[in-house]
Chains A and B, each alone.
Chain A
Amino acid sequence: MKLSFTVDGDEFLLAGEASSQVKKVLKQLGVSSAIIRKIAIAMYEAEINMVLHANGGSIDVDITPEKIYILFQDEGPGIKDIELAMQEGYSTASDEIRELGFGAGMGLPNMKRYSDDLKISSELGKGTKVEITVYLNREGD
């Protein structure tokens, strides 16, 4: 099954909508709640990053009996040093965003922790591509 979403960078309020839709679909497909939880966390973090750091983008989801693959693509500023960005606590979020409870620098570490496979590629000034895979028949942590 394939699903696609457009994430509007100005619609901060709607952030999480795609994650919530995917969660509903997985529930209907009978995926275990432990695995849905992993996917929801990883996907929400990637979705919110697209809104907060890249002014939106697109999400393509591919669900097969053995795994879910989620591709996030944006045309934002890109990530200069991915290894640095992956470190817990690293964030470039503005004070304004931090006041709302974002910017702890835990989003990328959460994606890593809760996905089975995470790939990030980015080009400065061009955009960022995040790929998350979670296997549907392995038990979650």
Chain B
Amino acid sequence: MLVRDIIEKLDLSIVAGENALDNEITTVYVGDLLSWVMANAKQGSIWITIQSHVNIVAVASLLNLSCIIVAEGAHVDEEAIEKANNENIPIFSTDKDTYNLIKELIKIGIE
């Protein structure tokens, strides 16, 4: 499945990285502690987090993650948006919490 395929299904708002919506999704990783994410998130993962500052883009880019979903209505920093546009990392925002996001992702076939 491609990143663009989840946008409508999960009703996500696109915040940045519109040029990279064809990234292939492999799996999902959830975490707010950056060095845990660094150690464990797999290439192509959707990363769900409530962190919303510019360093999430560095982490996603270094690990080749497919996109970032900033959950629970956390406001994404301007610097993060700018960097994500430069590095082609899609960032989405949503008011949903992680539990509900995961339920929906499983429903549409992402394990």
Q: Which of A101, A104, A110 contacts B51 (CB 8 A)?
A: A101
B residues near A (Cβ < 8 Å) are 32-36, 38-39, 43, 49, 51, 53-56, 58-59, 61-64, 79, 87
A100 at the interface (CB under 8 A from B): yes
20 A-B pairs whose Cβ atoms sit less than 8 Å apart in the complex: A13-B54, A15-B58, A16-B59, A16-B61, A20-B58, A20-B61, A20-B87, A40-B62, A41-B38, A41-B39, A44-B58, A45-B38, A48-B55, A100-B55, A101-B56, A104-B33, A104-B35, A106-B39, A110-B35, A110-B38
Q: Once bound together, how far apart are the Cα atoms of A16 and B38, in whole Å?
A: 12
Contact check, A23 vs B62: say whether CB atoms are below 8 A apart.
Answer: yes
What residues on A are CB-neighbors of B38 within 8 Å? 41, 44-45, 106, 110
CB distance from A21 to the nearest CB of B (A): 11
Interface size on A, residues (CB 8 A): 25
Contact check, A19 vs B63: say whether CB atoms are below 8 A apart.
Answer: no
What residues on B are CB-neighbors of A44 within 8 Å? 38, 58-59, 62
Main secondary structure of the interface of A (DSSP, over half): helix
What total of A-B pairs shows CB separation below 8 Å?
68
What residues on A are CB-neighbors of B32 within 8 Å? 101
A residues near B (Cβ < 8 Å) are 12-13, 15-17, 19-20, 23, 33, 37, 40-41, 44-45, 48, 100-102, 104, 106-107, 109-110, 113-114
CB distance from B85 to the nearest CB of A (A): 15
Residues A110 and B39 in contact in the complex (CB < 8 Å), given A16-B55, A100-B51, A102-B34: yes
What residues on B are CB-neighbors of A13 within 8 Å? 54-55, 79
Residues A113 and B51 in contact in the complex (CB < 8 Å), given A16-B58, A44-B58: no
Q: Once bound together, how far apart are the Cα atoms of A12 and B34, in whole Å?
A: 14
